[in-house]
Structure 1
Amino acid sequence: MKIGLTLYGSLDEQSGGFRYDRKLVEELRRAGDAVEVIELPWRGAAGGAWRAYPRGLLDGVSPRFRDRLRVDVDVMLQDELAHPSLWRHNRALSCPIVGIVHHLRASEPRRLSPLYRAVERRYLDTLDGVVCNSTATREAVTDLGVDPDATVVAPPAGDRFEGPNSLGDSAGGGDGGTLADRIADRAAERSLRVAFVGNLAPRKGLDTLVEGVAAADAEIDLTAVGRSVDESHVRDVRRLVDRRGLTERVRFAGRLSDGELAATLRESHVLAVPSRYEGFGIVYVEGMAFGLPAVASRAGGAEDVVTDGETGLLVDPDDPESVADALDALASDPDRLAEMSRAARRRYERHPDWKETTARVRRLLAAVADGDSPDVAQSPVPEVPT
C-alpha cells in the first residue's frame, strides 16, 4: 500500500504519541508499504491552548495548507492531535482517511473542553476508520459518534528499553543478579524510591503526587523525570515541594537520555504517574519492564495494563490521600511489593509488540483502502499467553 501519515511537528519528538507514530511507520515500511510523512507546523503547548488551538483552526481555512495534504496515497493516516488544522480540509481529499487517536482533547479536564468536543466531533466525522490506543480511547471516540465497527484498538508496545538497558537482561545472572534477586533486594530496602516519568504539565499530576508523598507515613524518595512544558506549573510544584518540607526528598531530574532513565528506573521501587487523564499511559508498561508496579490514575486507559492490587494500584485523579495510601501500602509490605513487582514484569512480557500492533492497524488500513467495511477488530489486542 501507499500510505500517508500527517502529523504536527516531527516524528523525532520523544513523547509517547510521537514514538507510537514513529514505530508504526517503521513497521509498515518493514511490511513492504510505502509511507510518506507529511509534517505540519507544530501547534503545540507553546503560548498556551488559548493561542495554539486557534492558530491550528486558522490553518484549517488556508488553501495553501490544504495543498500540502494532497498526496498520491491509497489511504491517509492522521495523528488526531492535528485535528484543528485538518477537520475542514479532509472533505476535499480524494483518499480515505484513518485517524490515530492517542487521546481526545475533549477527554481532559480543560476550560476549552466544550470547544474541543465540538471540533473533534466534526473531525471524527470526516474519517473512514479510527486507530485507538486503548479501550478507554475507543469509548471516547464512539461517544462522539464513531461507529465501533470502524475502530481498532492497537496499544503501543513498551519495549523502549529492550536490550542492554533493560532490567530483564540481568535475568540470566551477572553482576546484577537475577531479576528475582534484584526485585527481592529492592523490596527489602527501607526507603521507598518512587519515579515519576512524564512531561511536567498539569495533566500528568505531579502536584498530586507531591502532595501524596507529603501525606504518606512512609519514608519516600521521589525522582521526577521529564521536560518542562509548562513553566508556571513547574514553579508551582517546586513551591509546593518547599512548603511541604520535601526538598531533600524530591529531585527534579529533568529530561534524561534513555540510558539515564533506564538507570533511574532500575533503582526505583515504584512508578507513580497519577495523571488527571491518560489515553493509555505507555510509561506504565515501560516501568513494568523493570518490574515496577504502577501507581496510576483511573481516568483514561491505564486499566488496560494496570490491574489494581496485582500489577499496581489505581487512584482517583486529584486525590493525594489515595496516592499516600497506595505508597504506604507498598512501603509497609515488602513481600507484597516484591510479588507485585514480579507480576508487573510478567504483565510486560505478555504485552503485544509493535509487530502485532501494526498488523492490526494494517488490516484496518487495507480494508479502508479497498473500500470494504472496516469491521476488522472490535476488541483490544489479546495478551500473549504465558
Structure 2
Amino acid sequence: MRVALVVYGPLDDRSGGYRYDTELVGGLRAAGDDVTVVSLPERPYRKRLRDNLTAVRRLRDLDADVVLQDELCHPSLVGPNALLDDDVPVVSVVHHLSSLEPLRAWRRHARRAVERRYLRSADAFVFNSETTKRTVAAVTDPEPSVVASPAGDRFSSFGAPLGDDEIRARAVDGPLRVVTVCNLEPRKNVDGLLRGLARVRGDWELTVVGAAVDADYADSLSELAVDRDIDDRVTFAGRLSDADLAATLRKSHLFALPSHYEGFGIAAVEAMGFGLPALVSSAGGAGELVAHRENGFLVDPTDSAELTDVVAPLCRNRRRLQSLSLAARDRFLAHPTWDETAATIRSFLLGIVADADAASHPNRD
C-alpha cells in the first residue's frame, strides 16, 4: 500500500499528535507499506490559510493509494481536497478539534467554519478516542471511521511497566513528587496546576517537562511560581531525552495535566506505565483512560481548588497513593500497544483503499 501523510513541519518525536503520527508511520513501514511524508510550512494560523495553493501542488504530485492528513493541517487543506483525484481517498487523522480550544468567541467561530469545511471534504477518519469521534459527529458524518487509541509503550526499554515492589517502595519515599509533561502553551493549563498546588499545605515538588512553544506563556509560569512563593518547589526541566524523561517518571508519584481540552492524552498513558496515577482534565477524552478515584482523577480544569483537594490527601496518605499507583500500572497493561494501534489503523486503510478501487473499477472481476 502506498500511503502519503500530510503534517506541519517535520515528523519528529514531539509529544501529542506528532508522537501518534510518528508511531503510525513506523508501524505502516514495518508492515511493508511505502509511506511518503508531506511536510507543509509550520506557521501561525492565518498564514496557514494562505498555503492552500502550495498544498494543491504538493498533493497533486503524489503517487499514493490513500492520503492521510493530520487534522491539525486543516487550514491549509480546505481547498486542495476538492481538487484531488476522486480515486484516491483522503483520510483525516483527528487528535482534537482546534475550534474546541479556549479562544475568543469570534476566533473560535471563524476556526469552526474553516474546520467544518475541511472535515466535510474528508472521505474517512481515524480518531484517537470515542470522545473525538463525537466532536466530529457534531460537525459532519464521522463514518467511515476507526477509533485507535494512542499507546504508551515507547518506554518499555527503560523499565516500564514497573513492578509491584518498586511501586510500593516509591510510594512512601520523600515528598509527593508531581510531574507534568506537555508543550508549554495555554491549552495545557499548567498555570491552573501551579495555582492548585500553591494551596496544598503538604510536602510536594513539581517537575514541569516540555518545550516552551509559547515563550510568553512559559515566562508567565515562572513568574506565577514566584508570585505564589512556590518557585523553590517547581523545576522547569524543558524538553528531555527519552532516557531522562523515563528516569523522571520513574521517580515521580503523580502525573498531573489538567488541560482545558485533550483528545485523549498520550503522556498520561506513558506515565501510568510507571505506576503514576493520572490527574487529568474532565474536558475531553481522558475519561476513556482514567477511572476517577481508581487509577487517577478527573478534575474541572477551570477550578484549581479541585486539584488542591486531590493532591493534599495524597501528601499524607501514602497507602492510598500506593493503591492508586498499582491500579494505574494495571490500566496501562490493559491498554493497546503502538503495534496494535498501527495494525488497527492499517486494517482500516486497506479496507478504504479496496472500496475506492472497487468503486473506480465496478466491472473488474
- When normalised by structure 1's length, the TM-score is 0.88
Structure 1 residue corresponding to 2:46, chosen from 54, 59, 62: 54
Which position in structure 1 is the counterpart of 2:66? 75
Q: Does 1:37 align with 2:29?
A: no
Structure 1 residue corresponding to 2:305, chosen from 307, 313, 321: 321
Which position in structure 2 is the counterpart of 1:106? 99
Which position in structure 1 is the counterpart of 2:112? 117
**Does the CA contact (< 8 Å) of 2:13 and 2:22 recur in 1?**
no
Q: CA RMSD in A?
A: 1.5
In 1: Cα distance, 2:13 partner to 2:317 partner: 39
Q: By how many angstroms is 1:13 displaced?
A: 4.3
Which position in structure 2 is the counterpart of 1:48? none
Q: Which amino acid aligns with 1:228?
A: A
Deviations 1:175-198 (A, max 9, x none): xxxx22222222223511100111
Q: By how many angstroms is 1:231 displaced?
A: 1.4
Which position in structure 2 is the counterpart of 1:334? 318
Which position in structure 2 is the counterpart of 1:96? 89
**1:244-283 alignment to 2 at 5 Å?**
244-283=228-267
Q: Which amino acid aligns with 2:335?
A: H
Q: By how many angstroms is 1:332 displaced?
A: 2.5
Structure 2 residue corresponding to 1:291, chosen from 275, 281, 295: 275
Q: Secondary structure at the match of 1:69?
A: helix
**Does the CA contact (< 8 Å) of 1:58 and 1:85 recur in 2?**
yes
Deviations 1:250-307 (A, max 9, x none): 1111111111111111111000111111111100000011100011001111111111
Q: Secondary structure at the match of 1:118?
A: helix
**1:176-195 alignment to 2 at 5 Å?**
179-195=163-179
How many residue pairs get matched? Answer: 352
Which position in structure 2 is the counterpart of 1:300? 284
**Does the CA contact (< 8 Å) of 2:126 and 2:345 recur in 1?**
yes
Which position in structure 1 is the counterpart of 2:153? 159
In 2: Cα distance, 1:239 partner to 1:34 partner: 48
**Does the CA contact (< 8 Å) of 1:225 and 1:254 recur in 2?**
yes
Q: Secondary structure at the match of 1:162?
A: helix
Which position in structure 2 is the counterpart of 1:140? 135
**Does the CA contact (< 8 Å) of 1:128 and 1:368 recur in 2?**
no
Q: Which amino acid aligns with 1:7?
A: V
**Does the CA contact (< 8 Å) of 1:276 and 1:299 recur in 2?**
yes
Q: Secondary structure at the match of 1:121?
A: helix
Query: For structure 1, which segment, 358-367 or 211-220, has the greater mean C-alpha deviation from structure 2 after superposition?
Result: 358-367
Which position in structure 2 is the counterpart of 1:379? none
Deviations 1:135-183 (A, max 9, x none): 1111111111123x312110111012111x2243xx6xxxxxxx22222
In 1: Cα distance, 2:27 partner to 2:215 partner: 36
Unaligned ranges ≥5, structure 2: 358-365
In 1: Cα distance, 2:137 partner to 2:313 partner: 37
Structure 2 residue corresponding to 1:352, chosen from 313, 333, 336: 336
Which position in structure 1 is the counterpart of 2:19? 19
Q: Secondary structure at the match of 2:208?
A: strand
Structure 2 CA distance for partners of 1:56 and 1:157, relative to 1, 3 Å: same
**Does the CA contact (< 8 Å) of 1:191 and 1:221 recur in 2?**
yes
Q: Which amino acid aligns with 1:113?
A: R
Q: Secondary structure at the match of 1:370?
A: helix
Which position in structure 1 is the counterpart of 2:361? none
Which position in structure 1 is the counterpart of 2:199? 215
In 1: Cα distance, 2:246 partner to 2:55 partner: 40
In 2: Cα distance, 1:208 partner to 1:24 partner: 32
Structure 2 CA distance for partners of 1:348 and 1:209, relative to 1, 3 Å: same
Q: Which amino acid aligns with 2:151?
A: A
Unaligned ranges ≥5, structure 1: 44-51, 172-178, 374-386
Q: Does 1:8 align with 2:8?
A: yes
Q: By how many angstroms is 1:363 displaced?
A: 2.6
Query: For structure 1, which segment, 128-137 or 234-243, has the greater mean C-alpha deviation from structure 2 after superposition?
Result: 234-243
Structure 2 residue corresponding to 1:66, chosen from 44, 56, 60: 56
Q: Secondary structure at the match of 1:253?
A: strand
**Does the CA contact (< 8 Å) of 2:55 and 2:77 recur in 1?**
no
Q: By how many angstroms is 1:25 displaced?
A: 1.0
